[in-house]
Structure 1
Amino acid sequence: MRPTRSRAALTALTCVTAGVVLLATAGPVAAHVGIDPRSAEAGSWARLTFRVPDERPDAATTKVEVVLPAGRPLASVSVRPVPGWTVRTEKRHLDQPLVDDGKKTGEAVSRIVWTGGRIGPGEFQEFDVSLGPLPEHGEQMVFKTLQTYDDGEVVRWIEQPAANGTEPEHPAPVLALTPAAGTDADEASATREPSGAASGEAGTDAPNVSAPVAASGGGDSADVTARVLGGAGAAAGLAGLLAAAATRRRAAKRSPGPRGW
């Protein structure tokens, strides 16, 4: 019975080892500028947090620029002060004025720029923005973001998700617009604009896509996949250990006791 127990224990050890290796090799992966929450109700107000990590081991982030979609002007945009950082907003003239609380405005914020602070290697900083009202129609809003390092390097997080859902190398923060409460889903779907139009690429506010882009790692999908596989390996290892224990118990029951018992 000993060979059987040894094989069961070896199988369990192999499964556990495989799970640990997968978890260890799953990270860290390069992060990217994120947005929270990732969705908001159309026509509502939203408080968005832009999370900016520093990905360079020998350079610090000293400037962050968020470009608001040109095709989705917002009547009101306000920012939350960040200690150590100076913020300024740029505005553009609107051909059609916006109405906010019964008041018309002929301009809208087109870009938010944070400078003066520092995000060191291995650190991240969050920048809060309150804005609205959000567009009542459309699928999403794309906030193209530029990240500048103290060595002069600029990383442009401006690429939109592919039609098949594949994440690009330098994805822009995207806010999905969900139908307002009480809106018929079919009607809302019929009135939505194509994702390209909803992104607000038109206009001079968009960063130069053809400019050199700094190399960066992939997105979070690889990290998630690897962790799932690692978890599965660990689970399989646990099952192997349980099987080995059960084998030992069965062997003990079948083994004859000392003579005279």
Structure 2
Amino acid sequence: MTSLSHALPPTARRLGAVAGLAAASLLGLATAASAHVTVNPKTAEQGTYAKVAFRVPNERDNASTTKLVVYLPADRPLSSVSVRPVPGWTVKAEKTKLATPIKTEGGEQTEAVTKITWSGGKIDPGTFQEFDVSMGRLPTDTGELMFKADQTYSNGEVVKWDQPPAAEGAAEPEHPAPVLKLLPKGQQSAVGLTAATKADSAATVSADDGTARLLGGVGIAVGVLGIAVGGYGVTRARSRS
């Protein structure tokens, strides 16, 4: 007795193969869209000091993340930058000589941290790590700060998260850089922080929901196509008998 797959004509088998490839492709797109290096929280108040966390998910199944390099904007240098130790990781903050000194309460500052490197640790597949940085004062002449980042894997691969954010309504770039939105002074009070946290959580839920809907749609589409292919094969088999 031959199996159903062998009984199916070549056309039906090709349809089934296409369905499988389509499902795999869509699953891959869903995974890629949901994981990249980000800065959290996503907003802070202009002219203040803030603690942010660079959240780094491991996107590979066969390698671990072993190094992260974050570049602070040199065109808007920050007078104060400090890092929180991460167990198992070594951190190094590098300063750059400034073309224009920063005016601070203590006078003029001629150097500023523009690069932070974490190394020696490991982020295994399916996990993420957060790297905390305290920084300030945040500039008052821009609505955002972009932090380019390099993520290095144990297999030698380096992923550069350095693409500017997409314009409203446009598709997200493949490797977006972490961006901290800067709100005018007074807009991010304690209540605002709570609202921002809720909004961030809602955005996460929305993203998860979108991924779930995509995966559900893939399952339904594949199921319908599978039924059609099966029905087609059974009809052909009966017509031959």
Is the shorter-chain TM-score for this pair beyond 0.5, marking a shared fold? yes
User: 2:30·2:211 contact (CA, 8 Å) conserved in 1?
Assistant: no
Alpha-carbon distance in 1 for matches of 2:151, 2:132: 16
Post-superposition shift, 1:59?
0.4
**Which residue does 2:111 correspond to in 1?**
107
Q: Deviations over 1:176-212 (max 9, x none)?
A: 1111128xxxxxxxxxxxxxxxxxxxxxxxxxxxxxx
User: 2:38·2:54 contact (CA, 8 Å) conserved in 1?
Assistant: yes
- What amino acid maps onto 1:150 in structure 2? S
Alpha-carbon distance in 1 for matches of 2:40, 2:163: 18
TM-score by length of 2: 0.65
- What amino acid maps onto 1:137 in structure 2? D
Alpha-carbon distance in 2 for matches of 1:224, 1:167: 18
Alpha-carbon distance in 2 for matches of 1:227, 1:220: 10
**Which residue does 2:184 correspond to in 1?**
179
User: 1:66·1:111 contact (CA, 8 Å) conserved in 2?
Assistant: yes
Structure 1: 5+ residue runs without aligned partners? 1-24, 183-218, 232-261
Alpha-carbon distance in 1 for matches of 2:124, 2:63: 7
**Which residue does 2:78 correspond to in 1?**
74
Determine if the alignment matches structure 1 residue 169 to structure 2 residue 154: no
User: 1:29·1:223 contact (CA, 8 Å) conserved in 2?
Assistant: no
Structure 2: 5+ residue runs without aligned partners? 1-26, 188-203, 217-241
Q: Deviations over 1:124-172 (max 9, x none)?
A: 1110000000001111100001000011100011111122343111111
- What amino acid maps onto 2:179 in structure 1? V
CA-based RMSD: 2.6
Post-superposition shift, 1:227?
3.9
User: 1:74·1:133 contact (CA, 8 Å) conserved in 2?
Assistant: yes
Q: Deviations over 1:203-251 (max 9, x none)?
A: xxxxxxxxxxxxxxxx9986543446899xxxxxxxxxxxxxxxxxxxx
Alpha-carbon distance in 1 for matches of 2:140, 2:110: 19
**Which residue does 1:84 correspond to in 2?**
88
Alignment of 1:26-175 (within 5 A): 29-30=31-32, 31-165=35-169, 166-175=171-180
Q: Deviations over 1:84-113 (max 9, x none)?
A: 000001111112211333232101111000
User: 1:26·1:222 contact (CA, 8 Å) conserved in 2?
Assistant: no
Fraction of identical pairs, as percent: 54
Distance 1:114 1:220, change over 3 A: farther
User: 1:35·1:174 contact (CA, 8 Å) conserved in 2?
Assistant: yes
Post-superposition shift, 1:34?
1.3
Alpha-carbon distance in 2 for matches of 1:53, 1:121: 8
User: 2:39·2:55 contact (CA, 8 Å) conserved in 1?
Assistant: yes
Alpha-carbon distance in 1 for matches of 2:212, 2:155: 34
TM-score by length of 1: 0.60
Alignment of 1:231-250 (within 5 A): none
